[in-house]
Structure 1
Protein backbone atom coordinates (compact mmCIF):
# COMPACT_ATOMS: atom_id res chain seq x y z
CA UNK A 1 0.00 0.00 0.00
CA UNK A 2 1.35 3.41 -0.92
CA UNK A 3 1.55 6.21 1.63
CA UNK A 4 2.05 9.91 1.04
CA UNK A 5 2.38 12.45 3.84
CA UNK A 6 2.36 16.22 3.71
CA UNK A 7 3.28 18.49 6.62
CA UNK A 8 1.69 21.91 6.49
CA UNK A 9 3.22 24.42 8.91
CA UNK A 10 1.54 27.67 9.83
CA UNK A 11 1.71 30.35 12.49
CA UNK A 12 -2.06 30.17 12.95
CA UNK A 13 -3.24 29.01 16.39
CA UNK A 14 -3.76 25.23 16.64
CA UNK A 15 -7.34 25.63 17.91
CA UNK A 16 -8.28 27.71 14.86
CA UNK A 17 -6.57 25.27 12.51
CA UNK A 18 -8.43 22.36 14.11
CA UNK A 19 -11.71 24.28 13.87
CA UNK A 20 -11.22 24.64 10.11
CA UNK A 21 -10.37 20.93 9.67
CA UNK A 22 -13.22 19.67 11.84
CA UNK A 23 -15.71 21.76 9.83
CA UNK A 24 -16.15 18.83 7.43
CA UNK A 25 -18.66 20.58 5.19
CA UNK A 26 -16.53 23.65 4.55
CA UNK A 27 -13.48 22.33 2.70
CA UNK A 28 -14.24 24.65 -0.21
CA UNK A 29 -14.59 27.79 1.94
CA UNK A 30 -12.33 27.34 4.97
CA UNK A 31 -9.61 24.75 4.47
CA UNK A 32 -8.70 24.34 0.79
CA UNK A 33 -10.59 26.95 -1.24
CA UNK A 34 -9.73 26.77 -4.92
CA UNK A 35 -8.54 23.17 -4.60
CA UNK A 36 -12.01 22.02 -3.54
CA UNK A 37 -14.84 23.99 -5.16
CA UNK A 38 -17.82 22.35 -3.42
CA UNK A 39 -18.55 20.13 -0.43
CA UNK A 40 -21.94 18.55 0.09
CA UNK A 41 -22.77 16.78 3.36
CA UNK A 42 -24.74 13.56 3.40
CA UNK A 43 -25.36 11.31 6.44
CA UNK A 44 -21.93 10.10 7.62
CA UNK A 45 -20.08 11.40 4.59
CA UNK A 46 -19.33 14.29 2.30
CA UNK A 47 -19.22 14.58 -1.47
CA UNK A 48 -16.25 16.67 -2.56
CA UNK A 49 -15.87 18.39 -5.93
CA UNK A 50 -12.31 19.31 -6.86
CA UNK A 51 -10.98 22.13 -9.06
CA UNK A 52 -10.69 19.75 -12.04
CA UNK A 53 -14.36 18.70 -11.82
CA UNK A 54 -13.59 15.29 -10.29
CA UNK A 55 -15.74 14.22 -7.35
CA UNK A 56 -15.09 11.87 -4.46
CA UNK A 57 -17.40 10.44 -1.85
CA UNK A 58 -15.65 10.60 1.52
CA UNK A 59 -16.99 8.61 4.48
CA UNK A 60 -16.07 10.22 7.81
CA UNK A 61 -14.41 7.51 9.90
CA UNK A 62 -13.20 9.44 12.96
CA UNK A 63 -13.52 12.97 14.25
CA UNK A 64 -11.42 12.94 17.44
CA UNK A 65 -11.66 16.25 19.28
CA UNK A 66 -9.11 15.32 21.95
CA UNK A 67 -6.41 14.27 19.47
CA UNK A 68 -7.49 16.89 16.89
CA UNK A 69 -7.59 14.17 14.25
CA UNK A 70 -9.95 13.62 11.31
CA UNK A 71 -9.98 10.35 9.35
CA UNK A 72 -11.91 9.66 6.15
CA UNK A 73 -12.18 6.92 3.54
CA UNK A 74 -12.70 7.93 -0.08
CA UNK A 75 -14.13 6.36 -3.19
CA UNK A 76 -12.75 7.33 -6.57
CA UNK A 77 -12.71 5.53 -9.93
CA UNK A 78 -8.92 5.09 -10.03
CA UNK A 79 -8.55 3.81 -6.43
CA UNK A 80 -9.29 0.42 -4.87
CA UNK A 81 -8.67 1.85 -1.40
CA UNK A 82 -8.06 5.29 0.10
CA UNK A 83 -7.80 6.28 3.73
CA UNK A 84 -6.85 9.82 4.63
CA UNK A 85 -6.20 11.60 7.90
CA UNK A 86 -5.36 15.09 9.06
CA UNK A 87 -4.00 15.71 12.54
CA UNK A 88 -3.17 19.03 14.16
CA UNK A 89 -0.27 19.43 16.59
CA UNK A 90 1.80 22.24 18.00
CA UNK A 91 5.47 22.54 17.06
CA UNK A 92 6.89 25.28 19.24
CA UNK A 93 5.49 28.55 17.92
CA UNK A 94 4.02 26.83 14.83
CA UNK A 95 1.05 24.60 14.16
CA UNK A 96 1.52 21.48 12.06
CA UNK A 97 -1.11 19.64 10.05
CA UNK A 98 0.03 16.15 9.15
CA UNK A 99 -2.01 14.96 6.16
CA UNK A 100 -1.58 11.25 5.43
CA UNK A 101 -3.02 9.22 2.55
CA UNK A 102 -2.80 5.42 2.32
CA UNK A 103 -4.08 4.01 -0.96
CA UNK A 104 -4.14 1.23 -3.52
CA UNK A 105 -3.00 0.66 -6.18
CA UNK A 106 0.50 1.92 -5.49
CA UNK A 107 0.85 3.40 -8.98
CA UNK A 108 -2.00 5.81 -8.20
CA UNK A 109 0.75 7.85 -6.51
CA UNK A 110 1.33 9.52 -9.88
CA UNK A 111 -2.16 11.06 -9.52
CA UNK A 112 -2.53 11.30 -5.72
CA UNK A 113 0.90 12.88 -5.14
CA UNK A 114 0.42 15.98 -7.31
CA UNK A 115 -3.15 16.40 -6.03
CA UNK A 116 -1.94 16.33 -2.42
CA UNK A 117 0.79 18.83 -3.27
CA UNK A 118 -1.80 21.23 -4.70
CA UNK A 119 -4.10 20.61 -1.73
CA UNK A 120 -1.29 21.26 0.75
CA UNK A 121 -0.48 24.57 -0.95
CA UNK A 122 -4.15 25.62 -0.82
CA UNK A 123 -4.35 24.60 2.84
CA UNK A 124 -1.25 26.57 3.79
CA UNK A 125 -2.60 29.66 2.06
CA UNK A 126 -5.95 29.38 3.87
CA UNK A 127 -4.38 28.64 7.27
CA UNK A 128 -1.86 31.48 6.98
CA UNK A 129 -4.82 33.85 6.58
CA UNK A 130 -6.00 32.70 10.03
CA UNK A 131 -2.62 33.79 11.38
CA UNK A 132 -3.11 37.34 10.11
CA UNK A 133 -6.49 37.53 11.85
CA UNK A 134 -5.14 36.34 15.22
Structure 2
Protein backbone atom coordinates (compact mmCIF):
# COMPACT_ATOMS: atom_id res chain seq x y z
CA UNK A 1 0.00 0.00 0.00
CA UNK A 2 1.28 3.45 -0.86
CA UNK A 3 1.12 6.06 1.86
CA UNK A 4 1.34 9.69 0.75
CA UNK A 5 2.05 12.39 3.32
CA UNK A 6 1.79 16.06 2.42
CA UNK A 7 2.28 18.97 4.80
CA UNK A 8 1.61 22.63 4.17
CA UNK A 9 1.97 25.62 6.48
CA UNK A 10 -1.01 27.95 6.29
CA UNK A 11 -0.97 31.59 7.34
CA UNK A 12 -4.17 31.22 9.36
CA UNK A 13 -5.06 30.43 12.96
CA UNK A 14 -5.30 26.74 13.89
CA UNK A 15 -8.93 26.99 14.97
CA UNK A 16 -9.88 28.72 11.72
CA UNK A 17 -8.20 26.02 9.63
CA UNK A 18 -9.70 23.24 11.76
CA UNK A 19 -13.13 24.88 11.49
CA UNK A 20 -12.95 24.66 7.70
CA UNK A 21 -11.62 21.07 7.68
CA UNK A 22 -14.21 19.79 10.16
CA UNK A 23 -17.06 21.45 8.21
CA UNK A 24 -17.43 18.32 6.08
CA UNK A 25 -20.41 19.65 4.16
CA UNK A 26 -18.71 22.82 2.96
CA UNK A 27 -15.70 21.57 0.95
CA UNK A 28 -16.99 23.45 -2.11
CA UNK A 29 -17.05 26.75 -0.21
CA UNK A 30 -14.33 26.60 2.44
CA UNK A 31 -11.56 24.41 1.00
CA UNK A 32 -11.72 23.66 -2.73
CA UNK A 33 -14.16 26.02 -4.46
CA UNK A 34 -12.43 25.63 -7.83
CA UNK A 35 -12.30 21.81 -7.65
CA UNK A 36 -15.62 20.88 -6.01
CA UNK A 37 -18.90 22.26 -7.36
CA UNK A 38 -21.11 21.03 -4.53
CA UNK A 39 -21.18 18.97 -1.35
CA UNK A 40 -23.99 17.25 0.48
CA UNK A 41 -24.17 14.93 3.48
CA UNK A 42 -26.25 11.76 3.74
CA UNK A 43 -25.71 10.23 7.17
CA UNK A 44 -21.99 9.49 7.48
CA UNK A 45 -21.39 9.88 3.74
CA UNK A 46 -20.12 13.05 2.12
CA UNK A 47 -21.02 13.40 -1.54
CA UNK A 48 -18.78 15.63 -3.63
CA UNK A 49 -19.93 16.84 -7.04
CA UNK A 50 -17.05 17.89 -9.27
CA UNK A 51 -17.33 20.63 -11.91
CA UNK A 52 -17.54 17.97 -14.65
CA UNK A 53 -20.53 16.35 -12.92
CA UNK A 54 -18.60 13.37 -11.55
CA UNK A 55 -19.74 12.28 -8.08
CA UNK A 56 -17.45 10.96 -5.35
CA UNK A 57 -18.81 9.41 -2.16
CA UNK A 58 -16.68 9.47 0.98
CA UNK A 59 -17.40 7.79 4.30
CA UNK A 60 -16.59 10.20 7.12
CA UNK A 61 -14.77 7.87 9.52
CA UNK A 62 -13.96 10.30 12.34
CA UNK A 63 -14.03 13.99 13.23
CA UNK A 64 -11.93 14.46 16.38
CA UNK A 65 -11.99 17.98 17.82
CA UNK A 66 -9.44 17.09 20.52
CA UNK A 67 -6.69 16.11 18.05
CA UNK A 68 -8.11 18.24 15.20
CA UNK A 69 -8.16 15.19 12.92
CA UNK A 70 -10.62 14.20 10.20
CA UNK A 71 -10.48 10.74 8.64
CA UNK A 72 -12.41 9.62 5.57
CA UNK A 73 -12.49 6.85 2.98
CA UNK A 74 -13.54 7.09 -0.66
CA UNK A 75 -16.23 4.45 -1.14
CA UNK A 76 -17.44 5.27 -4.65
CA UNK A 77 -16.51 7.36 -7.66
CA UNK A 78 -12.73 7.15 -7.48
CA UNK A 79 -10.73 6.00 -10.45
CA UNK A 80 -11.88 2.51 -11.52
CA UNK A 81 -8.38 1.12 -10.89
CA UNK A 82 -8.26 2.47 -7.33
CA UNK A 83 -9.19 -0.34 -4.94
CA UNK A 84 -8.51 1.41 -1.61
CA UNK A 85 -8.40 5.05 -0.55
CA UNK A 86 -8.30 6.18 3.05
CA UNK A 87 -7.10 9.62 4.12
CA UNK A 88 -6.87 11.93 7.09
CA UNK A 89 -6.27 15.60 7.75
CA UNK A 90 -4.74 16.89 10.95
CA UNK A 91 -4.32 20.54 11.87
CA UNK A 92 -1.37 21.42 14.10
CA UNK A 93 -0.39 24.79 15.57
CA UNK A 94 2.68 26.59 14.25
CA UNK A 95 4.45 29.70 15.50
CA UNK A 96 3.12 33.20 14.80
CA UNK A 97 -0.53 32.16 14.54
CA UNK A 98 0.01 29.84 11.62
CA UNK A 99 -1.11 26.22 11.16
CA UNK A 100 0.33 23.06 9.69
CA UNK A 101 -2.07 20.90 7.69
CA UNK A 102 -0.96 17.28 7.46
CA UNK A 103 -2.76 15.17 4.83
CA UNK A 104 -2.04 11.44 4.81
CA UNK A 105 -3.52 9.29 2.05
CA UNK A 106 -3.23 5.51 1.78
CA UNK A 107 -4.01 4.00 -1.63
CA UNK A 108 -4.01 0.72 -3.51
CA UNK A 109 -2.72 -0.23 -5.97
CA UNK A 110 0.74 1.23 -5.43
CA UNK A 111 1.04 1.96 -9.15
CA UNK A 112 -1.34 4.92 -8.73
CA UNK A 113 0.75 6.55 -5.99
CA UNK A 114 2.49 9.10 -8.24
CA UNK A 115 -0.79 10.29 -9.75
CA UNK A 116 -2.53 10.47 -6.36
CA UNK A 117 0.48 12.29 -4.84
CA UNK A 118 0.23 14.95 -7.56
CA UNK A 119 -3.50 15.43 -6.86
CA UNK A 120 -2.97 15.62 -3.10
CA UNK A 121 -0.15 18.15 -3.42
CA UNK A 122 -2.22 20.30 -5.79
CA UNK A 123 -5.21 20.00 -3.44
CA UNK A 124 -3.14 21.03 -0.43
CA UNK A 125 -1.85 24.08 -2.31
CA UNK A 126 -5.41 25.00 -3.33
CA UNK A 127 -6.65 24.63 0.27
CA UNK A 128 -3.78 26.79 1.54
CA UNK A 129 -4.67 29.53 -0.95
CA UNK A 130 -8.40 29.37 -0.13
CA UNK A 131 -7.85 29.42 3.64
CA UNK A 132 -5.36 32.29 3.46
CA UNK A 133 -7.72 34.29 1.24
CA UNK A 134 -10.47 33.80 3.84
CA UNK A 135 -8.19 35.37 6.47
CA UNK A 136 -7.50 38.35 4.22
CA UNK A 137 -11.24 39.03 3.67
Deviation string 1:62-86 (CA, Å, 9 cap, x unpaired) is 1001100000011222311111100
> Partners in 2 of 1:98 and 1:20 — Cα distance?
14
> Partners in 2 of 1:7 and 1:52 — Cα distance?
28
SS in 2 for 1:119: helix
Which residue in 2 is equivalent to 1:21?
A: 21
Which residue in 2 is equivalent to 1:131?
A: 135
Deviation string 1:39-90 (CA, Å, 9 cap, x unpaired) is 1211111111234543321000010011000000112223111111000001
Matched residue pairs, number? 133
Instruction: Identify which of 74, 80, 84 aligns with 2:83.
Output: 80
Output the TM-score relative to the length of structure 1.
0.91
Could you list the runs of 5+ residues in structure 1 that have no partner in the other structure? none
User: Runs of at least 4 residues of structure 1 off by over 6 A?
Assistant: none
Could you list the runs of 5+ residues in structure 2 that have no partner in the other structure? none
Q: Give the deviation of 1:122 after TM superposition.
A: 1.2
> Partners in 1 of 2:54 and 2:116 — Cα distance?
13
Which residue in 2 is equivalent to 1:45?
A: 45
